[in-house]
């Protein structure tokens, strides 16, 4: 195999040879190469296969404008699918394989598909595979489709950094224009960031000998030095992949191969777009053959990597930039044959290997065909930001038109293909002047696809969309650009149309006889090049994904062998001890009923409402009447939505005339606080009501059980705990360890209970004291699971479990305020709409099954009739250790009226029966509650 490496190549380090393999064969390249440049240097041209016909594919471009050379690259045992060979920097030991080709890109077993191409035209699958059934054909089609494969193994330590940043001026593109603009801006005192997606700055300058009378490499180095010494920052190998609202630019900074890019969310006051332009393909017969490349691509391979892509080269161009390219390639030793694409139909000759090109009757033996159909400015980011495009007849291209906020385009991206023009634009933009419309010496003769012409002429190389497919789409009236794209899949390949869109639009325009700009463009969507999902993911994974809130007493719980789990966003003890969870939970319930359970209830909401209007406010917020609540007393109540639905339940305590504490459920604290704030400020006088959420500042311990009073007495607090002095639903303030302590006598178990709330820092001392005095009474700590059973025995609900998004308070047995409360409250009017007044509402009931039978499955439905109709469902169900039989709660249509009835319980196809009862199964008279 001949070497294509010349003595040129500004960016490779010949002292550092690197070994790599492609499709199982070993090759050598140099540090600074890309996979594609190294393969080309080794004479390898077939680097992939097309998506549909499995035609051989070689690189068309040298950078992001290549849809062909797509590989799975393995390094150090880790594989990465769908790497573009043209943008993947070569690393020693890389093993690359062409995707979608087997056994290799050179000899692909599926290449026979191309023989059937006449039946696989655009959209053929819409016209067939309907009979007998699509499902019959689909598995085969799925197997054929797809590019690279992935393994199910998770890449360890593959984690992206994500940063927020800002700057005065962000210059995107580090070619001549970008460098000059960044320098001008930095020297004008602006905080500048310059990004370029190549590892080395300079853009197309390596193709030039001199810039402003200095060697190109030195000129680049001089700009870099000037930018950095003026305080500018340069991020190379960094792609601006998208522009988002309010001038946020997404930047992806590449690290070593195999690491995800680092995401910079860059907020820029001004954005200078210097993204350059791409050479576009010419549409002619066999233009997809490996060896047909872009003129600019060939020059880049030579200038950057010292790779001369061919010796005998046909250069086909319609524009004035070809002269410089010809000089460059000739100087490197290529024999150049210039062909005018306008004088006759072109057709490549050869098979997998290009043997020549014919024009009309003339055949030219060449090993390489370089084509340029004109330059297309890269305006993707301009369009992301909402900038308009303007068709330029001279350049036959869409140029930036009306600018989006804070953005200007310069250089080739703005149609300035002359270096001098580009630099003067850049220097103007750098100091904040509008560069305006560029003048140009660039000339070209329009050259677009010719409908009706012979041969298979590719428009989208990866997706195998040919001129005939565009003609077919037009014939079938898929003439809107979006229909064209979607019907033929033109522009939907990995390069997202960078090489195919213009030819596609032009072909459609030509078929229809419309001017090209009238056809319009498809929408430019981020990301500019494909980006690993991990870049968007970053560090907030695993346990840091919506991290749990932690209890002040977590060490104490761990010390007591708590099984910690997530409950309502908190890490809380589910139960304590080692052994079978079911047995431990059962024992906790029995202990709580026999002596007392001690529970960490700290996540319970503690939101204070204060001020002269506090009473009226809470009276409005609550469904229940609160204004009659006396200081030192507590009331159970509901908060509703304006739709009348129960949003939260809990107790509210009145500390004094103008001060209340709302104890909402643990998982609703944030939403309740927001709800209160919204109503405080919108509809009330915010100077007369103050809301203070102290949930995180206070810890709460609950002592529940018949021995609760004895346990609390042992703490020697200066409070009369007798049932008459301190009845159920009242509150006392005391001191513990020189700190205020609130004692609320409320119960969620049906037994005598005290909730002790104290400053978070004092929680361990209180815990120790309560545990000590509890131990003397046979009490023990209990977790959430035991509490769930205790409250279900008593028929107490958990919001969201025993209620759903349709539950109103009268469904739960709290109908009086709905009928009697005269003061307005949130949700009041909704409690009287047609649905609220209906007879078939689901209400809360108990469900009884015989002792010795299994508990009802939670989630089972209660049904009647044939076929069965759902009347409701089991919402909570446990084997009650206290009662020695199952207990269950449910929501049942018209349930209260059905108490005593037997009902069918349906679960996963099986049926049994239960008897509907009142919700409360334990101590219905409440003797223990008031003990």
Nearer to another protein, 738 or 834 (CB): 834
SS3 660: strand
Whichever of 373 and 846 has its CB closer to another protein, that residue is 846
User: By C-beta, is 118 or 630 nearer to another protein?
Assistant: 118
Out of 109, 145, 776, 931, the only residue in the binding site for another protein (CB under 8 A) is 145
Omega prior to 246 cis, within 30 of 0: no
Residue 909 as a binder of another protein (CB under 8 A): the answer is yes
Nearby residues of 209 by Cβ (< 8 Å), 6 or more positions away: 215, 216
Report the site for another protein in 863-892 (rule: CB under 8 A).
863, 867-870, 873
- Rounded least distance, CB 314 to another protein, Å: 29
Binding mask 265-294 for another protein (x = CB under 8 A): x-x---------------------------
272-280, 319-327, 766-774, 901-909 -> range binding another protein (CB under 8 A):
901-909
* In the complex, minimum distance from the CB of residue 541 to another protein, in angstroms, rounded to a whole number: 6
Q: In the chain, what's the furthest Cα-to-Cα distance?
A: 114
DSSP 534-550: HHHHTT--GGGSSPPB-
Closest approach of Cβ 130 to another protein, in Å? 4
Asked if 250 interacts with another protein (CB under 8 A), we say: yes
**CA geometry: angle at 312 spanning 59 and 498, to 5°?**
25
Q: Tell me the per-residue interface mask from 442 to 471 with another protein, x by CB under 8 A, - otherwise.
A: --------------------------x---
Residue 537 found at the interface with another protein (CB under 8 A): yes
Closer CB to another protein, residue 17 or residue 824? 824
The closest alpha carbon to 792, from 889, 698, 697, 885, belongs to 889
Q: Rounded distance, CA 829 to CA 560, Å?
A: 50
Neighbouring C-beta atoms of residue 211, cutoff 10 Å: 21
Select from 725, 455, 747, 454 the least CA-distant residue to 599: 747
Question: Residue 278, SS3?
Answer: strand
By C-beta, is 445 or 678 nearer to another protein?
678
Binding status of residue 76 toward another protein by CB under 8 A? no
- Do β-strands 292-294 and 368-372 pair in parallel, antiparallel, or remain unpaired? parallel
Listed in sequence order, the residues at least 6 apart from 621 whose beta carbon sits closer than 8 Å to its beta carbon are 639, 675, 676, 679, 825, 826
Query: Does 148 engage in binding with another protein (CB under 8 A)?
Result: yes
| Owner of token pair 């308009």 | 388
Q: Spell out, one character per residue from 331 to 370, where the chain touches another protein: x when CB under 8 A holds, - when not.
A: ----------------------------------------
Distance CA(93)–CA(141), nearest Å, equals 34
Site for another protein in 114-143 (CB under 8 A): 118-119, 121, 124-131, 134-135, 138, 141-143
Q: How many CB atoms lie within 10 A of CB 388?
A: 13
Regarding 498 and contact with another protein (CB under 8 A), the answer is no
Q: What is the DSSP string of 5-27?
A: B-S--TT-EEEEEEEEEETTEEE
392-408 burial, b at 16+ Cβ within 10 Å, e below that, comes to beebbbbbbeebbebbb
From residue 759, alpha-carbon distances to 461, 572, 604, 716 in Å are 69, 19, 14, 19
154 binds another protein (CB under 8 A): yes
Q: Which one, 231 or 859, has the nearer CB to another protein?
A: 859
- A 10 A CB-CB count for 594 gives 15
Contact of 184 with 222, CB cutoff 8 Å: no
Interface with another protein in residues 202-221 (CB under 8 A): none
**Contacts with another protein in 558-577 (CB under 8 A)?**
566
- The region of 488-496, 697-705, 724-732, 848-856 touching another protein under the rule CB under 8 A is 488-496
Which of 188, 226, 248, 590 is close enough to bind another protein by CB under 8 A?
248
Encoded tokens for 748: 């969620």
Tokens of 381: 């980011």
- The distance of closest approach from Cβ of residue 849 to another protein in the complex, given in angstroms and rounded to an integer, is 17
541 binds another protein (CB under 8 A): yes
CA 882 to chain centroid, in Å, comes to 48
Q: How far is the CB of 270 from another protein (least distance, A)?
A: 16
d(CA 877, CA 792): 8
Q: Which helix (H) or strand (E) holds 583?
A: helix 581-594
The nearer residue to another protein, 214 or 581, going by C-beta atoms, is 581
| Interface pattern 842-861 for another protein (x via CB under 8 A) | ---------------xxxxx
Which tokens is 736 given? 């513990």
CA–CA dist 204, 34 (Å, integer) = 16
Q: Are 648 and 638 in contact (CB under 8 A)?
A: yes
Helix axes 295-305, 322-331, angle to 10 degrees: 40
Site map (CB under 8 A) of another protein, residues 466-485, x = contact: --x---x--xxxx-x-xx--
Q: Is 245 in the site for another protein (CB under 8 A)?
A: yes
Least CB distance to another protein at residue 853 (A): 18
Of the candidate spans 35-43, 57-65, 186-194, 533-541, the one that interacts with another protein by CB under 8 A turns out to be 533-541
- Contact between 913 and another protein (CB under 8 A)? no
The helix/strand/coil state of 322 is helix
Query: Does residue 53 belong to the site contacting another protein (CB under 8 A)?
Result: no
Q: Which is nearer to another protein, 189 or 541 (CB)?
A: 541
Residues 367-426 that bind another protein (CB under 8 A): 384, 386, 405
Rounded Cα distance, 23 and 35, in Å: 12
Q: For helices 176-187 and 419-430, what crossing angle results, to 10°?
A: 30
Q: Rounded to whole angstroms, what are the CA distances from 310 to 60, 62, 302?
A: 13, 14, 10
Identity of the residue, 537 or 728, whose beta carbon is nearer to another protein in the bound complex: 537
Find the binding residues for another protein in span 795-814 (CB under 8 A). 800-801, 804-806
* Closer by beta carbon to another protein, 305 or else 873: 873
**Separation CA 796–CA 802 (nearest Å):** 9
Position 911 contacts another protein (CB under 8 A)? no
- The region of 107-115, 343-351, 358-366, 903-911 touching another protein under the rule CB under 8 A is 903-911
CB nearer to another protein: give 28 or 453: 453
Residue list 630-669, contact with another protein (CB under 8 A): 642-645
Question: Considering only residues 81-110, where is the footprint of another protein by CB under 8 A?
Answer: 81-82
| Site track 155-174 with another protein (rule: CB under 8 A), x = hit | x--x---x------------
Q: Which stretch binds another protein (CB under 8 A): 40-48, 113-121, 443-451, 848-856?
A: 113-121
Three-class SS of 69-102: CEEEEEECCEEEEEEECCCCECCCCEEEEECCCC
Q: Six-digit token pair at 33?
A: 């190469």
Instruction: Please report how close the Cβ of residue 870 comes to another protein at its closest, in angstroms.
Output: 5
Which of 86, 77, 81 has the alpha carbon at shortest distance from 98?
Answer: 81
CB of 804 to another protein, least distance (A): 6
Nearest distance from C-beta of residue 454 to another protein, angstroms: 11
Instruction: Return the bridge partners of 707, or none.
Output: none
Sole binder of another protein in the list 146, 255, 612, 778 (CB under 8 A): 146
User: In the bound complex, what is the minimum distance in angstroms from residue 620's beta carbon to another protein?
Assistant: 10
Residue 580 lies near another protein (rule: CB under 8 A): no
**Torsion sign (Cα): 209, 214, 219, 221:** positive
C-alpha–C-alpha distance, residues 695 and 699, integer Å: 8
Site string for another protein, 688-707 (x = CB under 8 A): ---x----------------
Q: Which CB sits closer to another protein, 225 or 269?
A: 269
- Number of residues interacting with another protein: please give it, by CB under 8 A: 124
């Amino acid at each position: 195999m001949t070497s294509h490496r010349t003595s040129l190549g500004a960016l490779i380090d010949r002292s550092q040879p690197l070994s790599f393999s492609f499709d199982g064969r070993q090759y050598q390249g140099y540090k600074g190469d890309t996979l594609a440049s190294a393969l080309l240097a080794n004479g390898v041209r077939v680097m992939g296969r097309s998506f549909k016909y499995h035609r051989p594919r070689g690189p068309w471009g040298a950078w992001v404008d290549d849809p062909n050379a797509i590989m799975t690259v393995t390094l150090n045992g880790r594989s990465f699918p769908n790497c573009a060979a043209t943008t993947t920097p070569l690393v020693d030991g890389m093993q690359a394989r062409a995707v979608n080709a087997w056994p290799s890109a050179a000899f692909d077993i599926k290449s026979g598909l191309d023989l059937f191409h006449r039946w696989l035209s655009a959209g053929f699958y819409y016209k067939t595979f309907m009979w007998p059934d699509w499902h019959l054909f689909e598995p085969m089609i799925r197997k054929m489709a797809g590019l690279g494969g992935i393994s199910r193994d998770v890449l360890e330590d593959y984690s992206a950094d994500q940063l927020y940043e800002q700057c005065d001026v962000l210059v995107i593109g580090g070619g001549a224009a970008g460098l000059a603009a960044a320098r001008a801006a930095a020297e004008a005192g602006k905080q500048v960031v310059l990004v370029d997606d190549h590892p080395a700055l300079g853009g197309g300058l390596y193709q030039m000998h001199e810039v402003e009378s200095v060697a190109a490499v030195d000129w680049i180095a001089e700009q870099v030095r000037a930018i950095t010494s003026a305080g500018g920052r340069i991020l190379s190998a960094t792609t601006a992949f998208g522009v988002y609202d309010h001038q946020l630019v997404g930047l992806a900074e590449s690290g070593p191969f195999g690491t995800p890019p680092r995401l910079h969310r860059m907020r820029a006051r001004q954005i200078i777009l210097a993204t350059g332009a791409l050479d576009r393909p010419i549409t002619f017969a066999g233009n997809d053959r490996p060896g047909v490349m872009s003129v600019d691509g060939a020059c880049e391979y030579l200038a950057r990597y010292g790779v001369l892509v061919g010796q005998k080269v046909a250069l086909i161009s319609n524009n004035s930039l070809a002269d410089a390219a010809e000089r460059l390639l000739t100087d490197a030793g290529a024999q150049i044959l210039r062909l005018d694409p306008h004088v006759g139909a072109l057709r490549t000759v050869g098979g997998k290997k290009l043997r020549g090109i014919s024009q009309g009757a003339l055949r030219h033996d060449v090993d390489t065909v370089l084509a340029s159909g004109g330059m297309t400015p890269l305006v993707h980011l301009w369009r992301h930001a909402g900038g308009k495009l303007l068709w330029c007849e001279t350049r036959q291209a869409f140029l930036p038109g009306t600018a989006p906020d804070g953005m200007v385009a310069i250089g080739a991206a703005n149609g300035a293909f002359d270096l001098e023009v580009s630099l003067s634009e850049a220097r103007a933009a750098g100091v904040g002047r509008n560069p305006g419309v560029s003048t140009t010496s660039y000339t070209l003769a329009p050259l677009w696809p010719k409908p009706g012409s012979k041969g298979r002429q590719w428009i989208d190389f990866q997706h195998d969309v040919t001129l005939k497919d565009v003609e077919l789409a037009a014939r079938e009236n898929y003439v809107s650009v979006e229909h064209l794209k979607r019907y033929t899949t033109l522009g939907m390949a990995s390069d997202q149309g960078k090489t195919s869109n213009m030819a596609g639009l032009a072909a459609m325009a030509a078929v229809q006889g419309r001017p090209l700009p009238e056809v319009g463009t498809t929408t430019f969507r981020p990301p500019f090049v494909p980006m690993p999902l991990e870049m968007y993911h970053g560090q907030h994974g695993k346990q840091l994904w919506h991290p749990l809130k932690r209890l002040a007493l977590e060490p104490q719980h761990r010390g007591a062998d708590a099984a910690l789990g997530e409950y309502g966003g908190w890490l809380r003890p589910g139960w304590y001890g080692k052994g079978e969870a079911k047995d431990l939970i059962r024992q906790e319930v029995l202990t709580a009923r026999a002596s007392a359970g001690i529970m960490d209830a700290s996540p319970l909401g503690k939101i204070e409402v204060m001020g002269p209007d506090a009473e009226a406010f809470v009276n409005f917020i609550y469904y229940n009447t609160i204004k009659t609540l006396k200081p030192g007393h507590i009331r159970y109540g509901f908060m509703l939505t304006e739709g009348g639905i129960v949003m939260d339940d809990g107790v509210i305590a009145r500390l004094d005339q103008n001060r209340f504490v709302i104890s909402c459920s643990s998982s609703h604290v944030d939403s309740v606080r927001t709800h209160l704030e919204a109503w405080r400020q919108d509809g009330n006088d915010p100077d007369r009501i103050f809301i203070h959420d102290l949930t995180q500042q206070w810890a709460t311990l609950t002592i529940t059980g018949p021995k609760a009073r004895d346990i609390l007495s042992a703490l020697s607090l200066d409070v009369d705990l007798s049932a008459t002095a301190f009845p159920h639903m009242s509150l006392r303030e005391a001191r513990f360890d020189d700190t205020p302590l609130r004692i609320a006598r409320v119960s969620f178990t049906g037994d005598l209970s005290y909730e002790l709330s104290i400053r978070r820092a004092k929680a361990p001392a209180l815990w120790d004291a309560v545990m000590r005095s509890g131990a003397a009474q046979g009490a023990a700590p209990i977790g959430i699971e035991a509490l769930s059973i205790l409250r279900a025995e008593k028929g107490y609900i958990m919001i969201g479990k025993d209620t759903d998004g349709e539950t109103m308070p009268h469904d739960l047995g709290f109908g009086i305020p709905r009928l009697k409360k005269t003061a307005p409250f949130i949700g009041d009017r909704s409690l009287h709409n047609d649905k609220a007044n209906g007879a078939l509402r689901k209400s809360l009931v108990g469900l009884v099954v015989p002792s010795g039978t299994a508990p009802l499955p939670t989630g089972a439905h209660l049904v009647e009739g044939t076929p069965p109709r759902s009347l409701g469902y089991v919402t909570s169900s446990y084997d009650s250790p206290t009662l020695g039989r199952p207990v269950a709660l449910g929501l049942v249509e018209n349930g209260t009226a059905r108490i005593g009835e037997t009902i069918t319980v349906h679960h996963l196809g099986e049926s049994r029966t239960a008897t509907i009862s009142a919700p409360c199964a334990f101590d219905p008279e409440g003797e223990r509650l008031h003990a």
